[in-house]
């Protein structure tokens, strides 16, 4: 058999069927010489199945199918049998085994695996976004973000950004320092997607002192002094007021709790 022709028939995109064909064929023809794999995606009707089988008969192709609906699988099987076309059902036996073992009917909804893939890649994209636009590195991200976080140093902006990114939200965060004018993009953003993070001065003092010790520095540095902290907090409130964003007190609050507050607000706005 010089030429091998495979028709991959699917009610979704046909990626699973093609991967299976390639895995099997590689055991006989690693270079895939004289091998043709043709996808027939999103097949939804008996008429389409019949047309594929007729074409397969003419071209002497082997049909590989991944159909989640039982009626569609049965129709393709009987039609291919009648026309003496070789057809292999990849999903049917496994679905039927799981149905019997679990005593539960399958959903029979095409494309669920592909949807999971889309969700995965969306989450990865959000994580990469959070890294790229962390700590005000590139203010252009503020206008591209789903959520914008502002706050003084050590208010958990970065861990919160990463947590929300794992929920597939693109997050940019901007630190506020009295000596540095905030980026103009911050005042052009929709105030509903911007959240200010505030913490009590005493807690912030304690956190900053521990941070300085970790870095091997004197914990009495200006960075951790109450007067400096108060100055930064006052500056924060001025900026938050200009933006008109909601302010969340993160004092003694876990990142997950703060994230849930933000997620609830976003869902309420949708």
194-198/171-175 β-pairing: unpaired
244 is annotated as contributing to ligand binding: no
Distance CA 8, CA 26 (A): 16
Annotated binding residue at 251? Answer: no
The distance in angstroms from the start CA to the end CA of the chain is 58
The token pair at 160 is 């919160």
Instruction: For residue 242, say whether it is annotated as part of any ligand binding site.
Output: no
Residue 158 marked ligand-binding: yes
**Buried (b) or exposed (e) across 10-43, using 16+ Cβ within 10 A?**
bbbbbbbbbebbeeeeeeeeeeeeebebbbbbeb
User: Is 253 assigned a ligand-binding role in the annotation?
Assistant: no
157 in a known ligand binding site: yes
**Antiparallel, parallel or unpaired: β 4-10 and 35-40:** parallel
Q: Which stretches does DSSP call E strand in 133-220?
A: 147-151, 171-175, 194-198
Binding residues for ADP: 151-158
Binding residues: 151-158
């Amino acid at each position: 058999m010089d030429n091998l022709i495979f028709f991959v028939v699917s009610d979704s995109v046909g990626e699973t069927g093609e991967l299976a064909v390639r895995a099997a064929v590689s055991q006989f023809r690693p270079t895939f010489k004289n091998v043709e794999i043709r996808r027939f995606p999103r097949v939804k009707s008996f008429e389409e199945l019949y047309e594929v089988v007729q074409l397969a008969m003419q071209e002497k192709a082997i049909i590989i199918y991944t159909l989640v609906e039982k009626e569609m699988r049965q129709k393709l099987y009987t039609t291919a049998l009648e026309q003496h076309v070789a057809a292999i059902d990849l999903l049917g036996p496994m679905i039927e085994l799981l149905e019997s073992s679990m005593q539960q009917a399958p959903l029979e909804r095409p494309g669920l695996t592909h949807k999971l893939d889309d969700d995965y890649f969306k989450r990865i994209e959000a994580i990469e976004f959070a890294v790229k636009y962390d700590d005000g590195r590139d203010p252009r991200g503020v206008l591209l973000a789903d959520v914008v976080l502002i706050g003084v140093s050590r208010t958990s902006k970065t861990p919160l950004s990463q947590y929300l990114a794992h929920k597939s939200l693109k997050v940019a965060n901007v630190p506020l320092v009295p000596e540095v004018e905030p980026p103009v993009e911050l005042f052009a953003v929709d105030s509903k997607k911007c959240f200010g993070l505030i913490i009590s001065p005493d807690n912030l003092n304690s956190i900053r002192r521990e941070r300085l010790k970790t870095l091997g520095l004197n914990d009495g540095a200006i960075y951790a002094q109450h007067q400096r902290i108060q100055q930064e907090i006052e500056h924060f409130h001025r900026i938050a007021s200009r933006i008109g964003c909601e302010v969340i007190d993160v004092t003694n609050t876990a990142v997950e709790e703060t994230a849930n507050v933000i997620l609830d607000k976003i869902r309420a706005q949708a």
